[in-house]
Structure 1
Amino acid sequence: MKSRLCCLLLISMLMAPLAANAATSTYRGHCTITFQVQKTVMKDFTGTATCEPFEIIVTDDLISIPVIVVPVASMDTGNSRRDREMRAMFESQTFPRITGEAEAFTADRLSTPERRLDQMPEELTFALTIRDITQTITARVTEPHIDASAIEATLVFDLSLASFELDPPSFIGIVRVRDDLLLRAKVSLDRSPTSAHIPTTQE
């Protein structure tokens, strides 16, 4: 459910390697989030969500990160009743979006002296907002893949429903969802055809 949050994290971390370029580049991004839900009894289940398309602009070594938006309506577990329960928990009629935001940063924040495009941070911190509550989240950056035209990575983090004052739904009146969720957000950034070429260590 909170999985959409993770997409924001991924974006920020993908931006870090981009900061190594002084030329202006535009990256068009999209993300797919997978969340794993554990239940007190019976079988666990997984679901997916998608974020709205976004663009990242890298100019003069500065990476400005847009607010990443995940519509609650995009949540899908393959079970219509279960989906209705989750959307009710998020109060989607009043709060239809989950957002994530990371601060802009420059190349000097990269941990490696070379600051090459394929040097990614191991963690990404961002502000996640669900309903009217904002929490700071730290995600692990995994499975990075970078070439001349695209960047991909997966953000992995745990999310506590209680930390956002969310009451886990119950199914059949007795089967309850556990508080902690495991989220994996796969983020892809495609370089615009008009952007300047970005080097990698393979070149």
Structure 2
Amino acid sequence: MRVPVVLSMLAGLLVCPNDTPAHAQQVAASVDSTASVVHYTGTAPLHSWRGTSRSVGGEFILRPSRPDSSRAVIRIPVATFDSGNGRRDSGMRDVTEADEYPFVTFRGTDFSPVTWGRGASGYRGGWSVSGELTFHGRTHPLSDTVSVEVTGDTVRARAEFDVSLSRFDVERPGFMGFTVGDTIRIDAQLAGSIAPDTLSAR
């Protein structure tokens, strides 16, 4: 998701041979909630719908001299997802027990480049990101390839992946004899500013 994005970008800078050698200074950054959005798409036999949250938060710590000790985390309040249907959103909060488990959280711990290069406007490519997704009080491994673009002092990233409701012990609600599909599609579009000390290091 987005924090893994920023982290991936910065790690990418370290492996580009034409760049300044990495220094040992710790680098930190935060997700820009005003420029980031996460959608989920749910399905039923007769229709599908999309819920959206713009309350994305997160941060990361990157240690250039020890990439294996870098960490990232992003969090989204479950109750902030809005599908445009109040009754459906209320039902979603009920089955996910949002009062008891208010956040969906991703913690990234492993980052590696798949494709990465420098173009006219900056760096871009894909990074393999692995970590743990916590949802409805359950935690499971999650791996995905994140698209990353770096232009000037701005990082943008996009990740799309599926989440199984049954895997996270979420009851699938029914309506008129139909049950909501087990798979929820996540589309995370994240952005943030690179910390000033990172820019100077570049």
Distance 1:25 1:120 in 2: 21
1:37 equivalent to 2:42? Answer yes
**One of 48, 62, 77 as aligned partner of 1:58:** 62
What corresponds to 1:14 in structure 2?
6
Match of 1:141 among 140, 146, 170: 146
CA distance in 1, matches of 2:185, 2:162: 5
Q: Which amino acid aligns with 2:28?
A: T
The two structures, once aligned, show a CA RMSD in angstroms of: 2.8
Higher relative contact order (CA 8 A, sep 6+): 1
Are 1:130 and 2:160 an aligned pair? no
- Structure 1 runs of 4+ with >4 Å offset: 109-117
User: CA separation of 1:93/1:189 partners in 2, compared to 1, >3 Å: closer, same or farther?
Assistant: same
* Deviation larger for 57-66 or 112-121: 112-121
Q: Structure 2: which amino acid aligns with 1:123?
A: S
Q: 1:94 matched to which residue of 2? A: 100
Q: Structure 1 stretches of 5 or more lacking a match?
A: 1-6
Alpha-carbon distance between aligned partners in 2 of 1:127 and 1:190, rounded to the nearest angstrom: 24
How high is the TM-score relative to the length of structure 2? 0.77
Name the SS of the counterpart of 2:180 in structure 1.
strand
Which amino acid counterpart does residue 6 of structure 2 have in structure 1?
A: L
Q: Which has the higher strand share?
A: 2
Aligned residue pairs total 185
Match of residue 165 from structure 1: 169
- Per the alignment, do residues 113 and 174 of structure 1 end up closer, same or farther by CA in structure 2, a change over 3 Å counting? closer
Q: Give the percent of matched residue pairs that are identical in Structure 1 and Structure 2.
A: 23
Q: Secondary structure at the match of 1:146?
A: strand
More displaced stretch, 18-27 vs 150-159: 18-27
C-alpha deviation, 1:62, in angstroms: 4.3
TM-score (norm 1): 0.77
Q: Which runs of 5+ in 2 are unaligned?
A: 15-21
Opposite residue 92 of structure 2, the aligned amino acid is: M
Q: What residue in structure 2 maps to residue 83 of structure 1?
A: 89
Say whether the 8 Å CA contact 1:148–1:197 is kept in structure 2.
no
The aligned counterpart of 1:178 is 181
Once residues 68 and 164 of structure 1 are traced to their aligned partners in structure 2, the CA distance between those partners, rounded to angstroms, is 18
- Paired residue for 1:26? 28
Q: Deviations over 1:45-76 (max 9, x none)?
A: 11112444333333434453343211111111
